[in-house]
């Protein structure tokens, strides 16, 4: 049994706030469907105080903005994008197209075709999240997506130059200074000035996540996303200071970001809580991290490592940091997570910013059925079939006729009958002509 030293707010309170988000997003999407660019501009003015002559940056504007970014920032962006690109290419290389002959003259095949247009949403309301450009755009380009539309909002009425540079260097074909629901809806349904995309990827606030949820089906999305989550797993040898720093590293994403510690050591638990309380007042991002820890922070103490891993799988969090004596045991014992960060030398922030794995990961328990964004998300795995041998055509035609009639699908059966008739001269009693 786990002992809970710190509870989160009831789930009912979280659900109530989401109801208001859902209603707002529904109205915005409906308005953009009806009024197009006019509505997009109105919402950009309302939410971001931003209404330029064109939301899309020209090539000349992009070049000027990129030139204003310090060289060290450009060099760092290039380095991180190289890491993301390398990992995505290894993912791509792990996928296999094939063609196999299952019967004489019966060839079945599989191909991977990239979606033809993808939207990349790069958040920016609180912070210029350059890393999200790497994760969404670089990965799409490795998959072979020919058209990538990238949207990011202005920050306090200013152009986020480093983000624009990251979008450009990642390979975006179109860069739009447009944020929120209006950006997601415009990419999904299209307007007079923006052609629609087939799939939208990238993190965002509750409104962006809800817009993607409502538009899913009309377009593809990477995954259903919620607030950033971190789960830290420890035994008695973990450093409470490191635990506290890492919990707060994710809590600063927003006031609704869960930060959870599960440990086999009550001493580590109590010292971690004390370190969090000590560090919080001095954090520049305490306005976000403080409410996140207060309302969504949890600390659980369990008796054994078996209980620790079992409880971790129940959480099914996106980020799981394993600070135990044998962290690689988690690879064998856990099945429900977005990404594992193994050992004290690794941290979630590496995954967020620099190491090369994708940071767009499942939240709100979605790790129970999906992993995070990867190169395969931008690919459609399709099949093809070909029958060229008359004996196989006869065999399959007769079998199709019998199998379809068991299900009372006479039309299907007749398609099979015709193939057997063409190949072997079978009679067609249903053909009275």
The SS3 call for residue 107 is strand
**Per-residue pLDDT, 14:** 67
CB 352 within 8 A of CB 338: no
pLDDT tens-digit series, residues 120-150: 999 987 778 899 999 999 999 999 999 999 9
At 433, the pLDDT band (50, 70, 90 cuts) reads confident
Lowest mean pLDDT among 20-29, 121-130, 288-297, 302-311: 121-130
Q: In what side-by-side order are the strands of the sheet with 297-301?
A: 3-6, 297-301, 259-263, 230-234, 319-323, 339-342
296 counts as catalytic = no
319 counts as catalytic = yes
Provide the percentage of residues in the chain whose pLDDT is more than 90. Answer: 93
CB 162 within 8 A of CB 132: no
Sign of torsion over alpha carbons 202, 207, 213, 217: negative
Q: How far apart are CA 183 and CA 167, in angstroms?
A: 16
Among candidate residues 252, 319, 344, 359, the one labeled active-site is: 319
Answer yes or no: is pLDDT of 59 > 70: yes
User: Is the pTM here over 0.85, yes or no?
Assistant: yes
Answer yes or no: is pLDDT of 332 > 80: yes
Q: DSSP string spanning 41-92?
A: HHHHHHHH----S-SBPPHHHHHHHHHTS-HHHHHHHHHHHHHHHHHHHHHH
Among candidate residues 174, 229, 252, 318, the one labeled active-site is: 318
The single-letter DSSP state of residue 156 is T
Provide the percentage of residues in the chain whose pLDDT is more than 70. Answer: 99
φ and ψ of 227, to 5 deg: -60, 150
The SS3 call for residue 7 is coil
Q: DSSP string spanning 287-314?
A: HHHHHHHHHHEEEEE-SSHHHHHHHHHH
């Amino acid at each position: 049994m786990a002992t809970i030293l710190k509870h989160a707010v009831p789930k009912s309170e979280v659900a109530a706030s989401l109801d208001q988000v859902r209603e707002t997003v529904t109205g915005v999407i409906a308005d953009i469907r009806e009024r197009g660019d006019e509505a997009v501009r109105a919402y950009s003015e309302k939410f971001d105080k931003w209404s330029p002559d064109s939301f899309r940056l020209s090539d000349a504007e992009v070049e000027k903005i990129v030139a204003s970014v310090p060289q060290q920032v450009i060099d760092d962006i290039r380095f991180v994008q190289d890491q993301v690109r390398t990992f995505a290419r290894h993912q791509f290389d792990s996928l296999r197209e094939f063609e196999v002959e299952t019967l004489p003259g019966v060839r079945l095949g599989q191909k991977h075709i990239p979606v033809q247009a993808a939207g990349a949403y790069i958040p920016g309301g609180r912070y210029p999240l350059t890393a999200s450009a790497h994760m969404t755009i670089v990965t799409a380009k490795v998959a072979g997506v020919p058209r990538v539309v990238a949207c990011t909002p202005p920050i306090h009425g200013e152009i986020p130059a480093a983000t624009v540079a990251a979008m450009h260097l990642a390979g975006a074909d179109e860069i739009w200074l447009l944020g929120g629901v209006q950006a997601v809806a415009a990419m999904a349904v299209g307007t007079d000035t923006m052609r629609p995309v087939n799939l939208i990827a990238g993190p965002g606030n509750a409104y962006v996540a809800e817009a993607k949820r409502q538009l899913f089906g009309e377009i593809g999305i990477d995954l259903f996303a919620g607030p950033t989550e971190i789960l830290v797993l420890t035994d008695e040898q973990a450093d409470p200071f490191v635990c506290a720093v890492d919990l707060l590293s994710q809590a600063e994403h927003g006031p609704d970001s869960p930060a959870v510690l599960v440990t086999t050591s009550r001493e580590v638990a109590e010292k971690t809580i004390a370190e969090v309380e000590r560090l919080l007042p001095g954090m520049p991002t305490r306005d976000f991290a403080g409410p996140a820890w207060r309302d969504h922070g949890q600390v659980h103490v369990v008796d054994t490592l078996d209980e620790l891993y079992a409880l971790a799988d129940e959480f099914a969090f996106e980020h799981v940091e394993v600070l135990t004596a044998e962290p690689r045991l988690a690879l064998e014992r856990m099945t429900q997570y977005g990404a594992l960060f193994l050992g004290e030398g690794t941290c979630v922030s590496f995954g967020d910013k620099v190491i090369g794995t994708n940071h767009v990961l499942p939240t709100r328990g979605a790790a129970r059925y999906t992993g995070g964004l990867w190169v395969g998300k931008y690919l459609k795995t399709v099949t093809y079939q070909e029958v060229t041998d008359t004996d196989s055509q006869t065999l399959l035609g007769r079998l199709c006729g019998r199998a379809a009639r068991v299900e009372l699908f006479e039309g299907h059966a007749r398609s099979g009958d015709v193939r057997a008739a063409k190949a072997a001269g079978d009679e067609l009693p249903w053909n009275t002509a």
